[in-house]
Amino acid sequence: MSGSLKPALKSRIWRFWPLYPAALFLGFFFLYPSVLLLSISFVDGEGALSAVHYKHLFASATYVKVLLITLKIAGWTTVFAILAGYPVAYLLATVKSSTRNSLIIWVLMPFWTSFLVRTFAWIVLLGRKGAINQWLEALGFVDRPVAMIFNFTGVMIGMVHALMPLCILTMLSVMENIDRNLTKAASTLGARGGPAFWRVYFPLSVPGIAAGGMLVFITALGFFITPALLGGARDTMIVQVIIFQIQEVLNWGFAGAVAMLLFVSVVAIFVLYDRLLGLSTLSGQSEQGSGGRSGLVARIGKVLGGLFIELMATLTEWMGRLWDTIFPRRADVARTSFARGGAWVTALLVIAFLALPALFIIPVSFTEAGFLSWPPKGFSTKWYESVIGSGIWFNAALRSFVVAIMSAFFGMCIGVPAAFFLARQNFFGKGAVFAFLVSPIIIPNIIIAVALFYLYSRLGLTGTTIGLVFGHTILAIPYVVITIMAVIKNYDIRLDQAAWTLGANKIKTLWLVTFPLIRAGMIAAFMFAFIISFDELTIALFVTGGEVTTLPKQMWDDALLRVSPALAAVATLLLLFMSAFILLSEFIRRRSAS
């Protein structure tokens, strides 16, 4: 009996081998230290079980206030990202695919531009003597500079700018699947443009708004770069408290408690979202017309949503009628659609907001002055000379490059087999496995960073390059898994089957048929992982140390002291490098795709 069971069990265990590297790696470097970090929050100084850190957390008004500020900032960022991003996503979803491809590059631009570069650009633009204040004064709109930075406004601008592309892409993935004939059908059935949009298109795009909003919100909760550099003392966010507790006070237990608070908030939002719409909508596969979830929250949402739609439809109906009264239609004369023109203008303005600011970093890097100012004074390359001449910057850049290459490579080695298995096999608990593999991009980076710091301090990996590589590999895996899974889903498995019938074994098939066909997707996944690592700051902030530093870490350290023209020069070089990198990868991708 047992003799016949054993081989079956063995083959069952072997069946799952592609998942093992990913599971083991994430289990040891991500799950284990995270659980460890969260659990020390329940332990007091003597090692006994206690709620002392939580008492401390909720006892003082300071931390509750920080939590509220964090929620406020994340909330408003979400609102603005949706409001400004929706017209862009709508336009992208409704133009020809060739127009979309050229527009989407500009939307993705900030996505690819380093976080820090973008933040510096806003300092150049929004500062007291920044470009915008100079223009406003020159045009006579204001007498004295408007405070747009080191306050809530600065944080909002910076964060909306940083997170809107994510929101747009998520909404776009839902909108792309909305049948364009539906709005046409509504108009043949007698609905004007406005009501047709609100009654038909908008309700179908709601899952996209919800998914985009949720992703923006939870990402915003874990932000600290933008509030630290663009905000004032009153705009401190929760992650900054964790950093302070670890780096200045060395209070692990309390930092763990704050991390737990952040973790619980993120999980709570996920649960709420799942209750309302179901997590499956996240992947863009909105269950159109599934009727949504039942349950009290969902039902209240539905009633309120219905009222809102009714209101907007009626409003736009009357606006349309009014417009037709002022400018009567003629059946024999063609009339261009003003609504469409309006959508274009709005979307292009938003795209300009997304794409242009980073460019302001370039002129100020050539200034002769010793500080950042607008307009830049004279022309000098001295800042470039000082940057290129300094060993610190060169070493940091080299390390960033090496770490990014290695992280992307490990991420591919671990992520690709898992992605193949997840995309092609059906098994019990598949959803849970997928959720686990992509959870590193959902869990705020700060938790991973602090947890790794805790683990590394015991293993002696702190301040080592390989420690940093492992840290970045954690983040690379989810991107690789998602990208490769998307590619494989569009891959016709009958091609593999054909190769098998023609005499190729599985490995040869993979090598000679599958990989060449999904090469573009593989390249994209690698590039994605590379850029994630190259631009990563949070983990680097904790696991690097002393001589071992990366480019973002070095920029951050410098920026905390002073945002100087030298930093602008570094940012410009980085911008140049990233653009070249993106163009090259796009070139390779297009060539291998055709």
Partner 1 sequence: MTGENFKLKTRNLRKTYGSVVALADASIEMVEGEFLTLLGPSGSGKTTMLMAIAGLNDPDAGEIWIDGKQATYLPPFQRDIGMVFQNYALFPHMTIFENIAFPLKMRKMSEADIKANVGRVLETVQLSHVAERLPKELSGGQQQRIALARAFVYEPSIILMDEPLGALDKKLRDHLQLEIKHLHEQLGITVLYVTHDQEEAMVMSDRICLMNNARIEQLGTPDDLYFRPQTEFAADFLGESNMIECVVKTSTSKQISASGPDGAVFKALPNTQLNKGDVCKIMVRPECMSLLGARGKADNMVSATLNETIITGAVTKTYAQLANGQEITSTQLTTGPLGTTGKGSPIKFGWPADRTVALAAGGEAPA
Binding residues for partner 1 (CB under 8 A): 179, 181-182, 184-193, 195-196, 199-200, 203-204, 288-291, 329-335
Could you tell me which of 456, 465, 460, 470 has the C-alpha nearest to residue 396?
465
Please enumerate in sequence order all residues whose Cβ is within 8 A of that of 400, keeping only pairs 6 or more positions apart, or say none.
Answer: 533, 534, 550, 551, 552
Report helix, strand or coil for 70. helix
Residue 178 CB, nearest approach to partner 1 (Å) = 9
Q: CB-wise, 86 or 224, nearer to partner 1?
A: 86
Q: In whole angstroms, give the CA distance from residue 376 to residue 312.
A: 48
Residue 197 CB, nearest approach to partner 1 (Å) = 12
Please enumerate in sequence order all residues whose Cβ is within 8 A of that of 574, keeping only pairs 6 or more positions apart, or say none.
Answer: 114, 117, 551
Task: Identify the H or E element spanning 548.
Answer: none
| Cα-Cα end-to-end distance for the chain | 56
C-alpha torsion sign, points 466, 470, 475, 477:
positive
Residue 300 CB, nearest approach to partner 1 (Å) = 18
Strand partners, 548: 545
Report helix, strand or coil for 545. strand
Task: Pinpoint the alpha helices (H) of 139-233.
Answer: 152-175, 181-188, 193-196, 202-221, 225-230
C-alpha torsion sign, points 472, 590, 482, 205:
positive
Q: CB-wise, 191 or 446, nearer to partner 1?
A: 191
What does the DSSP 8-state code read for residue 169?
A: H
Structure tokens at 196: 């047709």
Residue 186 CB, nearest approach to partner 1 (Å) = 7
Residue 189 CB, nearest approach to partner 1 (Å) = 4
Q: CB-wise, 145 or 193, nearer to partner 1?
A: 193
Could you tell me which of 39, 92, 72, 145 has the C-alpha nearest to residue 346?
92
Residue 106 CB, nearest approach to partner 1 (Å) = 25
Residue 184 CB, nearest approach to partner 1 (Å) = 5
Structure tokens at 352: 């300009």
Residue 187 CB, nearest approach to partner 1 (Å) = 4
Q: In whole angstroms, give the CA distance from residue 214 to residue 81.
A: 11
Residue 327 CB, nearest approach to partner 1 (Å) = 13
Angle, CA of 44, 245 and 233, to the nearest 5°: 140
Q: CB-wise, 323 or 491, nearer to partner 1?
A: 323
Q: CB-wise, 335 or 489, nearer to partner 1?
A: 335
Structure tokens at 363: 């002129």
Structure tokens at 252: 């692990």
Residue 93 CB, nearest approach to partner 1 (Å) = 16
Q: CB-wise, 99 or 290, nearer to partner 1?
A: 290
Q: CB-wise, 129 or 184, nearer to partner 1?
A: 184
Q: CB-wise, 191 or 499, nearer to partner 1?
A: 191
Q: CB-wise, 200 or 523, nearer to partner 1?
A: 200
Q: In whole angstroms, give the CA distance from residue 437 to residue 417.
A: 12
Q: CB-wise, 304 or 398, nearer to partner 1?
A: 304
Q: In whole angstroms, give the CA distance from residue 31 to residue 477.
A: 14
